[in-house]
Chains A and B, each alone.
Chain A
């Protein structure tokens, strides 16, 4: 029983990590478009974000699983799960980052510009570090949510923890304990991450609190 849950852990963590990385990479161009001041780019990014967020994740996973072919080969279940969760994450993270950037005061932009910084330097040295601190709690909360949402990958046959637990329950008829075990693993991963993030947040805001 323990074995069933343990064998699912690598895929649970793998799907989560890969989707978070893809999501972060996807969120940045979306963020850039929403902040560009160009109406067309803004509109395009808004549409993509709303589209991605407007459909249940499980539906996206099925769409990518059945709909995306690479050459003649179908996307693997793992690939579809990572792609679907990653894109949806990109939309949510873009919103988290946008909120964080807008919390940086206009005076910071003005000071950087008045000093003669290039816009790349301004973003790299002034805006992004401040926005990142604001975004960090939301980012970790999202990451923890994603860890749990990675269980949706079981619906398209990714053999992660919930999939394994389900198999075990079906074949042995013993369901409650194996799912309690799976629940414990989610808690064991997410609680320390949450605590760590709060620690980091407290330490950073002690320094820069305004």
Chain B
């Protein structure tokens, strides 16, 4: 289970998250939507402590961190080990082959042997439809391929929860569809996922839970079909209207 309790974060006195509570059950997929500046990325980045929250609690599996009290590096790494993150701009390591991108973190973070890590990497790349890409460098791969490599890189560390921050926003729609397909398969296999997205089809058809954020808070949460069909908050209504217009 992933649980965020009363999470707050400000940047230079400017509150970006205010008392956010969110629970994500094991094996479910949660879509996080809302207008630009709502705090979606910040919430995601607080979950793996890329941003340090000012207050609140983050609990992932058996690891819990209270932002107000001190925590050790060891606790920080333990929490990060439970999460995998996929970014809008992939952020593959450009100076390493695709294979090494997926292998190196396994060696460094899990202490896997090279052979073991390569075996796992090959397995994951094959699952992403990229079995023959291991020897390439990332810049020789298309955007859709790069994003699937990034997913493989994160999965290779066996995270408990995968955090996606607009994974298809930098991609052409048809290429984005390939990535969404992979994510859908992951969901079907029972991976716990939190996905910031503007892909309403994905949110409606794949996600069990829809979370709508605005102005640093969650304004609505529940079954995606219900919320999309009958949003109760006026801001949800106008946001959905704006997104579906596009």
**Chain A residues in contact with chain B, CB under 8 A?**
105, 107-108, 110-111, 113-118, 121, 125-126, 129-130, 133, 207-210
Contact = CB atoms under 8 A, between A and B. Distances in A.
Interface of B: 48, 50, 73, 77, 80-81, 83-85, 87, 89, 91-95, 104-105, 108-109, 137, 139, 150, 153-154, 157
A209 B94 CA distance: 8
A130 B96 CA distance: 10
A210 B94 contact: yes
A111 B91 contact: yes
A129 to B, nearest CB: 5
Nearest to A114: B85
Contact of B91 (A107, A121, A208, A209): A107
B156 to A, nearest CB: 9
A111 B108 contact: no
A209 B139 contact: yes
B157 A115 contact: yes
Contacts of B84: 114-115
**Main DSSP-derived SS at the A contact region:** helix
Contacts of A105: 91
Contact of A111 (B81, B93, B95, B139): B93
Given A115-B105, A117-B109, A110 B91 contact: yes
B95 A116 contact: no
A133 B81 CA distance: 30
A107 B153 CA distance: 15
A115 B94 CA distance: 16
B109 A115 contact: yes
B50 A110 contact: yes
B105 A117 contact: yes
Given A116-B105, A116-B109, A121-B108, 11 more contacts: A107-B89, A108-B93, A110-B87, A111-B87, A111-B93, A114-B84, A115-B84, A115-B153, A115-B154, A116-B81, A210-B139
A60 to B, nearest CB: 37
B137 A114 contact: no
A210 B137 CA distance: 10
B77 A116 contact: yes
Given A116-B109, A117-B109, A208 B139 contact: yes
